[in-house]
Amino acid sequence: MLMSGQRRRRKASSSSRTATLAIQRRKWPPGLGSFTNSCVSDGTAPSGAHTEPWTFVVVKDRVVKHKVREIIEEEEKINYMKRMGRRWVTDVKKLRTNWVKEYLDTAPVLILIFKQVHGFAANGRRKVHYYNEISVSIACGMLLSALQNAGLVTVTTTPLNCGPRLRVLLGRPTNEKLLVLLPVGYPSQEAMVPNLRRKALDQIMVTV
């Protein structure tokens, strides 16, 4: 799971509240389709050897969204209870997350971004997708900027151990692996965000 800076920009919450993602269920930009299309297709994200190794699956259907939630909650419960060690559970504790992911139903749109670990050449042979994870993550960062500029909010999540089942649910081929899932919408009026501190500038930037 990745913490969303998008959330941080908004007013910090009382730390006594669980920091769940609060997205309005109904309100949504009228031009959703064209906005998402333009983010993706007019986007000029770079990729290794210009292979464009990504698939953006935009889930709007309520039933499919709920199936996504069911898969993620089942797998995440196992992550928290059994699969991940005490260290991981401790490291994410301050983020007040758990395996209940109500926002997967609430958010009007889920964008599941798959990396294509290889492609196919015209003759059917495997085509190498150089740096596919880096390329798709960069494209994800550019999409996050575009969403923020449009006044939308999201939380950048990496559903742990859920990739294979979600890939099958969405009918994606075996050369695609789920990289991140972005629930997208307008912020709820009651949205609460954790007041996380960030590193000081001299800890992250050096000038030579």
What residue ranges bind a second copy (CB under 8 A)? 1-6, 8-9, 33, 36-37, 40-41, 43-50, 52, 54-61, 64, 87-88, 91-92, 94-95, 128, 130-131, 133-135, 137-146, 148, 155-156, 158, 170, 179-180, 196, 198-199, 201, 204-208
CB of 148 to a second copy, least distance (A): 8
Asked whether the beta carbons of 107 and 120 are under 8 A apart, the reply is: no
74 vs 195 by CB, closer to a second copy: 195
128 vs 168 by CB, closer to a second copy: 128
137 vs 161 by CB, closer to a second copy: 137
Question: Nearest-5° angle of CA 41, CA 140, CA 196?
Answer: 145
CB of 109 to a second copy, least distance (A): 9
CA dihedral 201, 18, 101, 136 (to 10 degrees): 0
CB of 18 to a second copy, least distance (A): 16
Question: CA nearest 158: which of 140, 137, 179?
Answer: 179
106 vs 157 by CB, closer to a second copy: 157
* Residue 10 CB partners (closer than 8 Å, separation 6+): 153, 187, 191, 193
CB of 55 to a second copy, least distance (A): 6
Length of the chain: 208
| CA-CA-CA-CA torsion sign (175, 131, 65, 162) | positive
CB of 78 to a second copy, least distance (A): 17
CB of 91 to a second copy, least distance (A): 5
Question: CA nearest 74: which of 156, 161, 155?
Answer: 161
23 vs 59 by CB, closer to a second copy: 59
Q: Name the maximum alpha-carbon separation found in the chain.
A: 59
52 vs 105 by CB, closer to a second copy: 52
